[in-house]
Amino acid sequence: MKKEETVNFFVSEAKKDFRIVEENLHNVIEEVKFTQNKGLNYFEKFDEEFVLNQLKKLKENQEANLSGKLFGVPISVKDTICVKGLESTAGSKFLKGYVPVFDATVVSNVKKEGGIILGKTTQDEFGFGTFSTNTSRVPKNPFDNERSCGGSSGGGAGFCAITRNYHINIGESTGGSIAGPASFCGVAGFTPTYGRVSRYGLIDYANSLDKIGAIGRNIEDAALLLEVISGKDDNDSTNIGEKYVVDEAPVKKIGVIKELLDSADPEVKKIIQEKINELKKFFIVEEVSLPLNFNYSLPTYHIIASSEASTNLAKLSGLRYGVQGSVEGKHFDEYFSSIRSEEFSEEAKRRIILGTFARMSGFRNAYYLKSMRVRTKLIEEFNNLFKKYDLLISPTMPIISPKFSEISTLSPLQNYSTDLCTIPVNLAGLPHISINAGFSKNMPVGLMAVASHLNENKLYSFAKVMQ
């Protein structure tokens, strides 16, 4: 990676000459408009005036912002993260018109460091999906517009791949929603340890799984943004208060997760295998096995994720914000049921039903509680491997990005199963990255690396070797 391609380089130059900030931002704005006009749909909400007002303010207060790590850098934000004054819908028509009156902590942190909020990027509704197709504005893969950007942070990854200017995206992952799109779009996705980054202001999907992270053109950019958005926040009771600071950390021994490599399509497996052979020049690389995770992480994840989603979505009732109807003469049951039935998509309804079922009296012990116990076992399996290995690696996705025509033929279960590689690490709250490893049929193939809790810098050092 050339130093000139990193946001760090841009920031150091921009501090010397503000015209660099203006030129970069105007170029990025033109790219956003161009991609919107071409129907590539990377942005759910883009308001040029909103962006230019921030530029004006930064120009007027340059001196005060000169220490900012993101001085003048355009930062796009996944639609599920609240930005004050900018419609934030989490990709759902139920939240149409909702304009937050406060910034999420990650957005405040970006602003404090001189970043410019560019707009809200497209995603699956509430994060429910692997392909960003469960929404009205479906982002298209820059490498082939008939294929998906991945999901659910699809718009952010797609724009990172297409822009030729300096920009970083704030994404969010519940079961692989940063790594998956990064893999399909050939960019760097960095998901932190659970609790590293405050979730205050996140329109949540599943509370014990959601993690806000970063997507960039390279690992340096993603790590820089992760450093800015991480750290202590009293507004999030699950925040662990450990700031991430970008640094190198020694990596010697790497385990290749056999089950995940063997599950990949032959073309994906071939590219990852070639990359593994190259890595052997730098690291000790051995094959490892995660049988429990391979067999049980998918059902465990889907029970937990849908259970938590069904309780989170209970708050959407057509009162106070988002779509609202007339309550005149209506009983609360009638009003809530009618507006929820009207405004939730098919996928949201399916997940609400699954989650409500798993928590119902008579099934709760067999499904919900058991899945939480199984999760303990699955985390232990990872921890045992981390006693011997610095990192574990596998393909990020078992396939290259599929065509929309192929996605439409998948059953919900087949659809959910494509997250096979990313779900175990998300269930265990482990930090992970996806870095491009090569191309198959002209489509990017991502390699995922996973570290033990709070060891993000091992991932950073490894990714720099990979790049």
Residues 201-240 interacting with other proteins (rule: CB under 8 A): 208-209, 234, 237-240
359-394 CB burial, b ≥16 within 10 A, e <16? beeeeeeebbeebeebbeebbebbeebbeebbbbbb
Of 75 and 212, nearer to other proteins (C-beta) is: 212
**Rounded distance between C-alpha atoms, residue 173 and residue 158, angstroms:** 16
| Residues binding other proteins: number (CB under 8 A) | 79
Select 240 or 288, whichever has its Cβ closest to other proteins: 240
Figure out which of the listed residues 246, 249, 288, 369 binds other proteins, where binding follows CB under 8 A: 369
Q: Is 33 a catalytic residue?
A: no
Among 6, 105, 153, 193, contact with other proteins (rule: CB under 8 A): 193
Q: What is the signed CA dihedral for 263, 265, 267, 269, rounded to 10 degrees?
A: -10
291 binds other proteins (CB under 8 A): no
Within residues 72-101, the interface with other proteins by CB under 8 A covers 97-99, 101
Distance CA 89, CA 97 (A): 8
DSSP 8-class letter at 278 = H
Mention every residue, 6+ apart, whose C-beta is less than 8 A from residue 450.
382, 391, 392, 393, 394, 425, 430, 431, 432, 459
Q: How far is the CB of 240 from other proteins (least distance, A)?
A: 7
Nearer to other proteins, 43 or 416 (CB): 416
3-state secondary structure of 338: helix
Asked if residue 467 binds other proteins (CB under 8 A), the reply is no
Judged by CB under 8 A, which of 29, 118, 179, 352 binds other proteins?
352
**Interface positions, 313-342, toward other proteins (CB under 8 A):** 314, 317, 319-322, 324, 326-327, 329-338, 340-341
Q: Which of 15, 45, 69, 78 is catalytic?
A: 78
Distance from C-alpha of 395 to C-alpha of 382, rounded to nearest angstrom:
17
Beta strands in 196-302 (DSSP E): 211-216, 253-257, 284-288
Q: Which of 76, 92, 148, 152 is catalytic?
A: 152
> Peptide bond before 297: cis, by omega within 30 degrees of 0?
no
Does 177 qualify as catalytic in the annotation?
Answer: yes
Q: Give alpha helix (H) positions in 392-450.
A: 404-407, 412-417, 423-427
Q: How far is the CB of 295 from other proteins (least distance, A)?
A: 7
Using CB under 8 A as the binding rule, whether residue 360 contacts other proteins is answered as yes
CB-nearer residue toward other proteins: 336 or 386: 336
- x/- mask, other proteins, residues 395-414, rule CB under 8 A, reads ----------------xxx-
289 binds other proteins (CB under 8 A): no
**66 vs 314, beta carbon nearer other proteins:** 314
Let me know if 198 is a catalytic residue: no
Question: Is 453 within 8 Å of 423 (Cβ atoms)?
Answer: no
Closest to other proteins by CB, 159 vs 301, is 301
Only one of the segments 114-122, 266-274, 372-380, 387-395 lies at the binding site for other proteins (rule: CB under 8 A); that segment is 372-380
Piece in contact with other proteins (CB under 8 A), picked from 25-33, 212-220, 291-299, 387-395: 291-299
CB burial class (10 A; 0-12, 13-18, 19+) of residue 91? buried
Minimum CB separation of residue 175 from other proteins in Å reads: 12
Binding to other proteins (CB under 8 A) within 413-432 occurs at 413, 416, 427-430
Residue with smaller CB distance to other proteins, 32 or 83: 83
Minimum CB distance to other proteins, residue 157 (Å):
24
CA distances (Å), 11 to each of 117, 226, 412, 464, 467, in order? 16, 16, 44, 20, 21
Contact 214, 187 (CB under 8 A): no
Residue ranges in 113-210 assigned as alpha helix (H): 154-162, 179-185
Neighbouring C-alpha atoms within 13 Å toward the C-beta of 242? 12
Binder among 9, 357, 386, 404 for other proteins (CB under 8 A):
357
Stretch that binds other proteins, among 220-228, 311-319, 383-391, 455-463 (CB under 8 A): 311-319
The one-letter amino acid code at 397 reads: M
Cα–Cα distance for residue pair 123/126, rounded to 1 Å: 8
- Please tell me the distance from the alpha carbon of residue 418 to that of residue 194, in angstroms, as a whole number: 22
Closest approach, Cβ 276 to other proteins, in A, equals: 27
Q: Does 200 participate in binding other proteins (rule CB under 8 A)?
A: no
Interacting residues of 76 by C-beta distance below 8 A, sequence separation 6+: 42, 43, 117, 118, 119, 120, 121, 155, 156, 159, 167, 168, 169, 170
Residues within window 101-120 making contact with other proteins, judged by CB under 8 A: 101-102
Q: Which residues are catalytic?
A: 78, 152, 177
